[in-house]
Every structure is written in C-alpha cells, then in structure tokens.
Structure 1
C-alpha cells in the first residue's frame, strides 16, 4: 500500500506558465477535493438521518467548504500566511454558494420521498459539476497571480 502525500506548491505568483501550473495543481486539487467529498458525503449521510436533506446538505457543504478552501490555499496554490486569507476565503465562499445552489437544485428536482441512495447519487453528480466550477474560480480568480498581486 502506498501513501499519497500532498506537498505545497510554489506560491501562485511564481508558478510559471499556465499549462505547467495547471498540470501541477490538478493532482493536488483532486486529492483535496476527494478528501473533502468523502467528508461531505459522510456528514451529509449522518446529518440527513436527523435533519431534512436540504439542511443536511447545507451544513455538510459549509463545513467542508471551509476546510477545502484552506487546504487548496496551502497545498494546491502554495499560499501560506495570513496575507490575503480573508479575500481567499470570501472567494471560496462564493464558490461554495455556487456549489450549494447546484446541489440544492439536484435535491429539489428529485421526486418527493426519494431514497437516501437517490439523494446521495444526486449530490455526488452535483458535486462533480460544482468541483469543476470551483477549480475554475480558484484558478482563474481567487488565486490568479495577476489579481493577487494587485490586491497585495
């Protein structure tokens, strides 16, 4: 059994050409995303036993979105320290709200009384779409070197 480790990358401003930076960032983003997705699914499953599915979804997503932004900030985009942390987390919050809207819509279109399995499948598919959108936002806006240097 091998152990996969994630190490921080160079800061966003020093990451080089876009294709090279993208190829370095995607594996780290995938590890962080997979870890947060598993945590989200466990939380959603546990919370949906005691809360309505919409409330369980919101609480599980909010909890894991904060951890996701912090982990991506450090490991995927190589940003450390407190400088810009509030801006980064606000950007992560916007990405969270988009993901929440997608997953809430996926639950809303399910027929009333759908099984827990159907709900899990719906949120897994929705989170796949939300993850792609989140990466695009983090890469192109939140951790974009040109935008970061303009605000620091």
Structure 2
C-alpha cells in the first residue's frame, strides 16, 4: 500500500467512523433520555451504552474496517466491552459530578454531560478499533 493510498484509506475510515459515531451517539443520547423517564442517571446511562456499543461495534466492523462475515465477530464484541468500559467510565464520572454539584439537573443537562463523556471516549474508540481491525502483514502484502 502506498503512502497516498494509505492516507485515502485512513480518510475513508475516519469519515465512516464519524458517520457511524454521530448516529450511534445520537441513538445513545435519545435512548438515555427515554430511559431516564423510568430510571435514574446511572442505570439509564449503562443500558443505553450497552445497546449502542453493540450496534456501533457491529457497524464499524462492517462499514468502517471492512471486516464483514462472522469470523471473529464474537471476539470483537467481547473486546468492545473494553470500549464500553471506557465510555461508561467517562460518562458515569461526568454524571456523578453533575449529580454532586447539581442534584436537581434536568434531563437536558444530564444528556449534555453524557455527550461530552462520549466525545472523549470516541477518540480512544477509533484508535482501538483501527488497531483491532488492522490487516495482518500477510494481507497487506497481498493487497500491494
């Protein structure tokens, strides 16, 4: 793979990752806001993140990193639990700080807090997913 094609490939990956990420984040935030009508912040956050992480990982695996098929699918979903942990830690910490300093904060403030935590975790998510789906040296040699 040449440097130019590598940059183009990275650019496509970043674009697809961003589109899926925006959709996943919107889905997670809407789901959080809906769940918040029945649950408190932390359980609503955890449930929304679990559902959106599974869907996000499957979409990125297929569309962003062209790792379709069933081979390795379960292992990737298990590793995505690491991503879930990172995202949950960032959002749960933000919600805990919000609850501590403004216990009567509404759904809008809680949802915004979740969005900020999710944005922080997103950069980490891309780096890890890209590493997990990186082609092996043998496959890279075949593509050249």
Query: Normalised by the shorter chain, which TM-score bucket?
Result: 0.7 to 0.9
Once residues 59 and 109 of structure 1 are traced to their aligned partners in structure 2, the CA distance between those partners, rounded to angstroms, is 19
Query: CA shift at 1:48, angstroms?
Result: 0.5
How many residues are treated as equivalent by the alignment? 135
Offset at residue 72 of structure 1 (A): 0.3
Deviations 1:78-107 (A, max 9, x none): 011111112211221111111111100010
CA distance in 2, matches of 1:136, 1:52: 31
Which of 56, 70, 82 is residue 70 of structure 2 equivalent to?
82
RMSD over equivalenced CA pairs, Å = 2.1
Further displaced range: 55-64 or 31-40: 31-40
The reply on whether 1:60 has 2:51 as its aligned counterpart is no
TM-score, normalised to structure 2's length? 0.85
Structure having the larger proportion of residues in helix: 2
Aligned equivalents of 1:15 and 1:73: distance in 2? 23
* Unaligned residue ranges in structure 1 (runs of 5+): 1-13
> Helix, strand or coil: the match of 2:70?
coil
Higher Rg: 2
Structure 2 runs not aligned, ≥5 long: 140-144
How far apart, in 2, do the equivalents of 1:54 and 1:76 lie? 30
